[in-house]
Structure 1
């Protein structure tokens, strides 16, 4: 199958998840659904066993190939980009929570601001995901499929979190925007090819963002998340990743 058609089908799969994840009403409620905790475990396993190790491969490939001082520094410190992704998304979450507490006196005025902070931050990760779907480090077909599965489950987790906070806004605007951004990332990937060093930056940033976004959904004690389900997701997908 041509790579363009394959990646388009996978991108369309991501879009369908955003559009129809709200139908998964069995994920609602407290304690937190074990399926969501398991999906988060899968995403985290993929980051630690695929995305982060790929950064080491990128570092090896890029040694001595860069000319600018900053790029030469980052050539050996791609993990700084991953750390930056985690810190940035932690900061954005704190900003959203702060805005939620203040609300500009009237709750109806504060809600859209929080919503757009959240949607904007997730849209950036979706754009990167759509692009990496085409140009990520995938030596074989199954590597691309494993990326798709992990990110698809990560999107389910993210969608649940966004709908839990912004139900009406997310259903009306958010899910459509996130779906369109995935396709935009795919289209950019099909029409342009950036240097490998920048692809490595995108992969590193995505890794940090995914870790932060999964853990912020799992850790709040009021969610009553299932550690066992999270562990099962981690162990099961780790086994698959190590076996192929």
Structure 2
């Protein structure tokens, strides 16, 4: 599925590069779009990514793990928790830096070092999304379509927050780094052969990161979210997933 996966990756890059265009929308329209995005993302996570954790755990159970890992119950679920912890920690550092800069230097954004850390983390995150595209979509064209829709939604929400947080740094540097990190992940998948166990841990970590970023960036009450738009996004992705599963 080389061509479909490449087209999805190119689409992701375009989304990253041009997400800033949504700032031209009026605030009410933006809130509805974010709500639609979050509903679709939540449906994908709960109906597809989270159930896959059971499969990843089976893979880990059958593999030859190092002795100390063999003693850990639900080891791939721990990997998902690690994904939550990593992105939560980075978000906390970003917010702390922004508060300090606002108080001491009258700046409205975090420090450049925090920007570099956050963009690096999301470059890894995007790289995993590119790397795992074919693993999570299989040989089903419809699954590629859903993957593109859901993660495009997700990228739009993430990029919006990163742009609001880091302002021109994100526009000049961040969006390009994130766009090409997706491509890099996809290329690495094409030229490497990761084991099933490695893929299980990578997918679990990504699942945790997706869950945290959805809850952190797409659902906060202060975003003045639209419940009808949220429900529409959730139902739309849920129906698509059911069609694929059947």
TM-score of the aligned structures, taking structure 1 as reference length: 0.88
Task: Describe the shift of the 1:73–1:32 C-alpha distance in structure 2 as closer, same or farther (beyond 3 A).
Answer: farther
SS in 1 for 2:63: coil
Of residues 19, 22, 25, the one that matches 2:20 is: 22
Residue 106, structure 1, aligned to residue 113, structure 2: no
2:57 is equivalent to residue 59 of structure 1: yes
Q: 2: CA distance between counterparts of 1:179 and 1:239?
A: 29
Question: Does structure 2 conserve the Cα–Cα contact (< 8 Å) formed by 1:37 and 1:230?
Answer: yes
Provide the C-alpha distance between the structure 2 equivalents of 1:6 and 1:220, rounded to a whole number of angstroms: 34
Q: Which runs of 5+ in 1 are unaligned?
A: none
The Cα of 1:242 is off from its aligned counterpart by 2.0
CA contact (8 A) 1:136 1:199 kept: no
Distance in 1, matches of 2:23 and 2:110, equals 27
Aligned to 1:10: 8
Question: What's the offset of the Cα at 1:195?
Answer: 0.7
- Quote the offset at 1:207 in angstroms: 1.1
Deviation at 1:171, TM superposition (A): 1.0
Kept in 1: contact 2:76–2:201 (CA 8 A)? yes
Residue aligning to 1:129 = 129
Alignment-derived partner of residue 173 in structure 1: 173
Q: Which runs of 5+ in 2 are unaligned?
A: none
Q: Which residue of 2 aligns with 1:148?
A: 148
Q: TM-score, normalised by structure 2?
A: 0.88
After TM superposition, give the deviation of residue 135 of structure 1 in Å. 3.4
Distance 1:75 1:147 in 2: 30
Alignment of 1:1-244 (within 5 A): 3-27=1-25, 29=27, 33-73=31-71, 76-103=74-101, 105-107=104-106, 110-136=110-136, 138-244=138-244
SS at match of 1:151: helix
**What's the RMSD between the two structures over aligned residues?**
2.3
How far apart are the structure 1 equivalents of 2:242 and 2:56? 20
CA distance in 1, matches of 2:25, 2:214: 15
Q: How far apart are the structure 1 equivalents of 2:177 and 2:73?
A: 33
